[in-house]
């Protein structure tokens, strides 16, 4: 019987293998677009809300990352110190369902 940690790693590898088999062309095209924009003194705008903001933060220019990426994150969808009120959970839950918000 597999333990949960090993099962997790097996499943994660299966996802990576599927991405490698089906998405590399799209990833290369996206990388080329980003490269061309940055090389042309432009920016690559990144938008993230909730958990997807983690990926935006990983691209944000800081020591060891890539200059040319412009992070855009919605504070009310990422800062949940308050449960109600301004920048609170109710507002975040509402905004997460607004079509085209990003």
pLDDT tens-digit map of 63-88 = 666 678 888 887 665 665 555 556 56
Domain of residue 21 covers 1-41
C-alpha–C-alpha distance, residues 89 and 92, integer Å: 5
The whole-number average pLDDT for the span 7-29 is 97
| pLDDT, position 70 | 86
Q: Is the pLDDT of residue 18 over 90?
A: yes
Same domain, 13 and 60: no
Per-residue pLDDT at 65: 64
33-45, pLDDT tens digit by residue?
Answer: 999 999 999 999 9
Q: Are residues 97 and 54 in the same domain?
A: yes
Residues 18 and 34 in one domain: yes
**Are 56 and 37 in the same domain?**
no
Residues 53 and 102 in one domain: yes
Same domain, 17 and 7: yes
Establish how many alpha carbons lie within 13 A of residue 48's alpha carbon, considering only the half-sphere containing its beta carbon.
17
Structural domain tally of the chain? 2
Same domain, residue pair 21 and 71: no
Q: Are residues 52 and 102 in the same domain?
A: yes
């Amino acid at each position: 019987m597999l333990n949960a940690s090993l099962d997790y790693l097996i499943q994660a590898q299966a996802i990576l293998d599927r991405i490698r088999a089906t998405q590399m062309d799209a990833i290369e095209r996206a990388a080329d677009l980003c490269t061309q924009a940055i090389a042309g003194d432009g920016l690559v705008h990144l938008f993230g809300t909730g958990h997807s903001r983690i990926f935006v933060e990983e691209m944000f220019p800081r020591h060891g990352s890539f200059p040319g990426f412009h992070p855009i994150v919605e504070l009310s969808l990422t800062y949940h110190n308050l449960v109600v009120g301004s920048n609170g959970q109710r507002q975040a839950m509402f905004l997460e369902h607004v079509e085209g918000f990003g």
